[in-house]
Structure 1
Amino acid sequence: MDGEIAGPHSGPMETFENLVRAEFAPETTHLNTAASALLPARAAAALQDAVRLRVEGRSLDPLYTDVEAARAAYARLAGVPVERVAAGATAALHTSLVAASLPPGAEVLTAEDDFTSVLNPFHTRGDLKVRAVPLERLADSVRPDTALVAVSAVQSADGRIAGLTALAEAARAHGARTYVDFSQAAGWLPMEAGAFDYSVAITYKWLLGPHGAAFLVVPEDLGDLPPVQASWVAAEHPWASCYGPVAELAHSARRFDSSPALFSYAGLRASLELVEEIGTDAVRAHDLNLAERFRAGLADLGRTPLPAPGSPIVSVPGLGHLQPELAAAGIQVSDRAGNLRASFHLYNTADDVDRLLDALSG
């Protein structure tokens, strides 16, 4: 990884490299973080420790502590108080809560061909007006009768980054709420979740966690969300609320929690510790450097990726059919709508980029 991050080799870059070497030893060229990240060694160890508790019949209390530690770490990354963060399992579940908060006939403004989890719950309501526009026109398309704008911060298909500042300003000017999915951004792109009414992120991509964990950020006043999925874990005093109706919901975003997949959160706590140790800025610099190397190599091959400046996701039209062949050669990428999608993260190197370019040139 030498030379992939600006700075003296004896300084922050060395720390970055040492941390990554200690955590990752992939047996393939994994350029597919936008689908699923590699799991750090410390997270794998935490998962094994969690399983051992069940095998040995010991108390699971430490796993509930992991949930709260992971919640707090995500709050720090998102730049919001921990009281605004709810823990769940999927982005679609949290989108469903936001969809349930809207009155019949409300207009939801979305980006064309955004990821299904941030769209479908609004469509399945059946009584909402869902309007889709090109991503680049999203902020300009907010109208006085728009109730909510929902969009992914980074588009899964091609890596385009939404103009979130302009969107927040436009929504505020028209009295619309905002819902941002950070699933393809959290971990490499600095988040300012407090600038939006609601936001969500799953954690098995750029945050390096296991599957089965997701976070929802809500307003300080908890917004208009109905806690329709509330169970005992959503109570102010969970262990005193196991039987009968919950008498007192949590006074924080925990009222929107769903019962946590404890093993997942045990691993996630360790993954988020690594992300915080390395730092989002260092990860972003590394990831974007590799993406630019790939874009430059594509130009040399006469290939033009879809425009997505400043993104570690690079999507190349017309090459998606090569995905099985590349996988057989030990290079993991995705086929998305006929496009070859490569995504670069902290465990990737310049050699990984060159290996993919060599395969494409052949």
Structure 2
Amino acid sequence: MSEKYQVAAATPLNNETVERIRQDFPILNQQVFDHQLVYLDSGATSQNPLQVLDAERDYYLGKNSAVHRGAHSLAVDATDAFEDARATVSGFVGAAENELVWTSNATEALNLIAYSFGNASAGIGGETARQFALEEGDEIVTTELEHHANIIPWQILAARTGATLKHIPLLENGTIDYDAAEKIVTDRTKILAFTHVSNVLGSVTNVDFMVKLAQKHGAFTVLDACQSVPHTPVNFETLGVDFAAFSAHKMLAPTGIGALYGRNELLEAMPPFLTGGSMITKVTMTEAQWMPAPIKFEAGTQRVSQAVAWAEAVRYLEHLGMENVHAWETTLGQRLAEGISQIEGVRLLGPAAGEERTGLASIHVDGVHPHDVGQLLDTQGIAVRVGHHCAQPLHRALGITASTRASTYMYNTTDDIDRFLDALSQVRNYFGL
């Protein structure tokens, strides 16, 4: 075992090994209202191990410079670190280096696709970009499961181009209605955008079904992978999607950086979204020529230190082994679902206990607003998410306006789950219900 890590490579995760791993996360040792912190909000933002914090600090101490520009040694070192980070992160998701575009977050990555397609629809990009153009009569299809970031960009693209936006409904258990999908996706469909894992329900989409359905009708596939890449082995090439978006801050890395995966031949043909410095080869007062992908989508000063830190987060996860991370979080997720199902007056949203789900669970407590649930749990040191989780259409389909979400990661123990369940079981009684 390297001295850099608390456990040997690919060690199966259990309470004992997780307790050792937690030594890399000092923030988890703090007290909240005189209780040991239980952090169950990693679905929103994960915590950072010391190794990741050190990587970003070391970059600023020894390599900080503008990338892709300077001829001096420091700039060369910074550029090497930046591009090495791209190679590390792209390899983690089964992509080539020229298939990974740095963005500010996953939301920007999804917007990049939508606005690039909109630019193609306006004639920008020439003949090679025509394949992405939309017009009246074309359709964009998404699902009722989606985060707003995978809905609103398509609303705007439809408004810009005259295309029609449709959605695939859900079944009563919160999973996609695949029978309905086969009727909704047609030869008029240009884009099929869907989430890999619901950020509210923890349900897992059948990506193979959706990709084959899109390919049957010649549509591009766009995958929201924000809740899958941090928690389970993911290979975009194997999945067969055309595009995918994911974020660093949900997988042990800093905020302020995300990534767009796109098949290289598509990225090369797409017109840029943001424009300005760094992404060009030639500029006159009337026209410009662009760099090859992915650089043509990376205008302006880049998120260099964040990329370097993200690569360190990837190495941390690879050391643990994503199969181990997935197995442990599945255990935690099922413990959550089973425990919630036994509490009177509390409704588990999404797949029932025993059905496929990831390590998160959202609930509706009869008679108690989610914000009140969250604040009461906070007084016991338990951090959860409350609200609509940027998924208002999904909550509307479930017949509620908001929910309380507990989401786990590889640094959580079964004791964390049990403390949450014990506190949750007291909520309705506390409010006199």
Q: TM-score range by the shorter chain?
A: 0.7 to 0.9
Worse overlay, 158-167 or 94-103: 94-103
1:281 matched to 2:299: no
Residue 265 of structure 2 corresponds to which residue in structure 1? 221
1:119-134 paired onto structure 2 within 5 Å: 119-125=151-157, 126=159, 127=161, 128-134=163-169
How far residue 62 of structure 1 moved from its aligned partner, in angstroms, is: 4.3
What is the aligned partner in structure 2 of residue 4 from structure 1? Answer: none
Q: What letter corresponds to residue 215 of structure 2 in structure 1?
A: R
Equivalent pairs, count: 349
- Paired position in structure 1 for 2:193: 150
How many Å apart are 1:265 and its aligned residue? 1.9
When residues 14 and 37 of structure 1 are mapped into structure 2, their CA distance, relative to the original with a 3 A threshold, is: closer
TM-score (norm 1): 0.86
What residue is the counterpart of 1:104 in the other structure?
A: 135
Q: Give the SS at the match of 2:141.
A: strand
Secondary structure, counterpart of 2:95 in structure 1: coil
Determine the structure 2 residue equivalent to 1:211. 255
- Displaced runs of 4+ in structure 1, greater than 6 A? 54-58, 241-247
Is contact 2:242-2:262 (8 Å) kept?
yes
Q: Distance in 1 between matches of 2:230 and 2:382?
A: 23
Aligned equivalent of 1:162, options 198, 205, 217: 205
Moved more, 336-345 or 195-204: 336-345
Q: 1:150·1:179 contact (CA, 8 Å) conserved in 2? A: yes
How far, CA to CA, are the matches of 1:244 and 1:292 in structure 2? Answer: 60
CA root-mean-square deviation: 3.0
1:232 alignment partner, one of 268, 272, 277: 277
What is the distance in 2 between the residues matched to 1:130 and 1:10? 46
State whether structure 2 residue 158 is matched by structure 1 residue 117. no
Partner Cα distance (1:292, 1:104) in 2: 45
Residues 244, 330 of structure 1: CA spacing in aligned structure 2 closer, same or farther, 3 A cutoff? farther
Residue identity opposite 1:144 in structure 2: D
Tell me the secondary structure at the aligned position of residue 223 of structure 2.
Answer: strand
Partner of 2:50: 41
2:359 maps to 312
1:65: how far off? 3.3
Of 386, 390, 397, which aligns to 1:335? 386
- Which of residues 92, 95, 111 in structure 2 aligns to 1:77? 92
- Equivalent pair of 1:153/1:182 in contact (CA under 8 Å): yes
TM-score (norm 2): 0.73
Partner secondary structure for residue 265 of structure 2: coil
Q: Which amino acid aligns with 2:311?
A: R
1:5 match:
none
Q: Secondary structure at the match of 2:264?
A: coil
Structure 2 distance, partners of 1:305, 1:246, is 56
Contact 1:88 1:214 in 2 (8 A): yes
Q: Deviations over 1:129-155 (max 9, x none)?
A: 111222513542311100000112111
Match of 2:423 in 1: 359
- 1:147-201 Cα offsets, whole Å, 9 max, x none, are 0001121112222221211000000111111000111111212223121111111
1:134 maps to amino acid: P
Mapping of 1:4-83 within 5 angstroms?
12-13=11-12, 17=18, 20-25=21-26, 26=28, 27=30, 28-52=37-61, 59=74, 62-83=77-98
1:246 is displaced (CA, Å) by: 9.3
- Aligned sequence identity (%): 21
Asked if 1:137 corresponds to 2:177, the answer is yes
Work out the CA distance in 2 between the residues paired with 1:10 and 1:65.
26
Whether the aligned pair in 2 keeps the contact of 1:37 and 1:204 (CA below 8 Å) is yes
The unaligned stretches of length 5 or more in structure 2 are 1-7, 31-36, 67-72, 118-132, 171-175, 389-401, 427-433
For residue 219 of structure 1, what is the amino acid of its counterpart? R
After TM superposition, the structure 1 stretch with the greater mean CA deviation from structure 2, 43-52 or 270-279, is 43-52
Distance in structure 1 (CA, Å) of the matches to 2:246 and 2:59: 23
| Mapped pair 1:201 → 2:250 | no
How has the CA–CA distance of structure 1 residues 62 and 43 changed in structure 2, closer, same or farther, with 3 Å as cutoff?
farther
Q: Is the alpha carbon distance of 1:189 and 1:246 closer, same or farther for their aligned partners in structure 2, counting shifts above 3 Å?
A: farther
Deviations 1:75-101 (A, max 9, x none): 122112112111111223222232131
For structure 1, which segment, 314-323 or 25-34, has the greater mean C-alpha deviation from structure 2 after superposition? Answer: 314-323
Paired with 2:334 and 2:247, the residues of 1 have a C-alpha distance of: 26
Instruction: Tell me how far apart the structure 2 counterparts of residues 66 and 248 of structure 1 sit (CA, whole Å).
Output: 27
Q: In the alignment, which residue of structure 2 is the partner of 1:261?
A: 303
Measure the CA separation in 1 of the matches of 2:387 and 2:204: 17
SS at match of 2:140: strand
